[in-house]
Amino acid sequence: MSGPPPIGARKANLDQLTNNIIMEFANQEVGHLRSLNSTVGVFPRPLLDLSAKNFAKIFDDAFGHKLVPPFDSYRDSLSYMLSCYVIPYVGLVGYVGTNPNINGYETKRLLAGLLGVESGQDAVIRMYLYERATKLVPPYQYTVADFTSRISGLRNKLGNCGIKDEGVYIQPPLGAENRTRSNVLSANFGSLSYKRTPAEILRIVYGSGDEHVPGGFYPKGANGKIAKEFLK
């Protein structure tokens, strides 16, 4: 589980509630790595770009223009949780998409355990943002709901496989049983989790819309057999 240190990561200015949530999530991820290593083995961590500059570019791309001032993911609790919204859901739908291709009881049990906690983490993030949906995100004239909608729209665009991502407010045709605008949990027509293929995941986390072109969070590309096959 070695690898180069991430680019640009720094301590965020968090209130106590948000800090408690993120500390719990972080420790859960340590447990996930330990479980993965003991069950299927792990590979070295690739170079990650967690800089405010990278997050700012993602939000610029989501809105279709440069935000002024540039979005700072480490500025405060709300900015940090909006940045957290960018990542975990992609892992969740990736796990759902992977499930049919997994063989063996132990591996499927591991995947189910990972998916359960990842789903919970995503739900906490979405609920945190849903409770603040109508609040303006300082110093911009956009609400929290606007931010979630734009990020979800960007991920759909990069994934290039239709709607598999939704913000915390949506139009009724996309809501649960076509009845709700609230969208605390993102789900498909049957209220089941969306799924994404490895190629779709890479298109999104690379920020390039192309699984063969690294960038975004992985400036030198992701590790692992599947990711490396796409880079050949």
- For residue 9, is it within any domain? no
Q: pLDDT class for 2, splitting at 50, 70, 90?
A: confident
* 1 part of a folded domain: no
Checking if the pLDDT of 114 tops 90, the result is: yes
Strand partners, 7: 49
Question: What pLDDT is stored for residue 171 in this prediction?
Answer: 85
Does 7 reside within a domain? no
Report the b/e string of 32-52 with b at 16+ CB within 10 A: beeeeeeeeebeeebbbbbbb
In this predicted model, what pLDDT tens digit does every residue of 9-24 receive, in sequence order?
999 999 999 999 999 9
Return the closest-CA partner of residue 182 out of 174, 191, 194, 190: 174
Predicted TM-score (pTM) of the model is 0.94
Whole-number pLDDT of residue 182: 94
Mean pLDDT taken over the chain: 95
- Does position 1 have pLDDT exceeding 70, yes or no? no
- Structure tokens of 176? 């649960």
Q: Which residue range(s) make up the domain with 202?
A: 16-231
5 part of a folded domain: no
Tell me how many domains the chain contains. Answer: 1
pLDDT in tens, 68-100: 999 999 999 999 999 999 988 898 999 999 888
13 vs 194: CA distance, rounded Å:
33
In a domain, 208, yes or no: yes
- 188-193 long-range Cβ contacts below 8 angstroms, 24+ apart: 188/164, 193/92, 193/93, 193/96, 193/119
Query: Does some domain include residue 2?
Result: no
